[in-house]
Amino acid sequence: MMVKKSCFFSKKEEATSDKTKDLILDSARKHFCDKGYEGASVRDICCEAGANVSAIKYHFGGKEGLYRECFKIFGESRLNSASKILTTASSLDELKLRMKLFAEDFINEGLENITTTKMICREIETVNPLIEDIFTDTFLKVYTTLVSVFEDAQTKKILRNDVEPTILASLFFHQLTTSLRVDHVGEKYFNKTLKDKEYRDQFITNTISIVFDGIKFQEQKV
């Protein structure tokens, strides 16, 4: 008779505390991404991580805390990075450079953390109350910072005044986010993927040019 392998490990078999926490988070992101919060099993998460089920309560306070931590870590990282990149610009060239750096950082980190990226997109659409405060304190602040940069650019006559900053920020965000979500489609049918650095650079350069060269401020001819 086949004996089912147990996913409960002794303390000696577990990794160090910090390592165990990281392994659980890595496993949780995959399971939450594939099955959602309700569908993901704490037992399966720990089994893949090689950790005792009790480790989730110890490190995260439970399944809900684990789920929130997946978003919190990524959200705080994104806000910290955006805060450094998204400062006001004094010219169109500087604005385009900052948007290029932001896009590079956004896509690189999105690819590196693709499971969390997919989770964020899903939870934003459903307005999940479990992470609403984290969304407001991190991801939304990245968006509002971007809006502020565009508003400032309008006052300096870098961008056209008839362009609504929130629409521009949404358009730019949507372009970057969607490119990550459907990258597998381009790779399968067109052999083009953001994982390829040459294509990724071309995608960002084209996006910046299409968006910002089209809405730059132009003096009215008399």
Confidence band of 129 (pLDDT split at 50, 70, 90) = very high
Q: Rounded to whole angstroms, how far apart are CA atoms 58 and 32?
A: 19
pLDDT of residue 17: 80
Taking 50 as the threshold, does the pLDDT of residue 3 lie above it?
no
Confidence of residue 218 (pLDDT cuts 50, 70, 90): confident
Write the CATH number of the domain with boundaries 69-212: 1.10.357.10
Q: What is the pLDDT of residues 170-185, one digit of tens each?
A: 999 999 999 999 999 9
Domain residue ranges in the chain:
8-61, 69-212
Looking at residue 217, what is its pLDDT? 86
Could you give the CA distance from residue 213 to residue 170 in angstroms, rounded to a whole number?
A: 17
Instruction: End-to-end CA distance of the chain: give it in Å, rounded.
Output: 90
Q: Is residue 163 within 8 Å of 215, Cβ to Cβ?
A: yes
pLDDT digits (tens, 9 = 90+) for 60-118: 999 999 999 999 999 999 999 999 999 999 999 999 999 999 999 999 999 999 999 98
C-alpha of 24 from chain center: 19
pLDDT bin (cut points 50, 70, 90) of residue 125 is confident
pLDDT of residue 7: 53
- Look at the domain 8-61 and name its fold: Arc Repressor Mutant, subunit A (1.10.10)
- Whole-prediction pTM: 0.87
> Looking at residue 4, what is its pLDDT?
44
pLDDT score at 55: 94
**More confident site: 121 or 204:** 204
> Which of the four pLDDT bands, split at 50, 70 and 90, describes residue 20?
very high
CA atoms of 175 and 209, how far apart (whole Å): 13
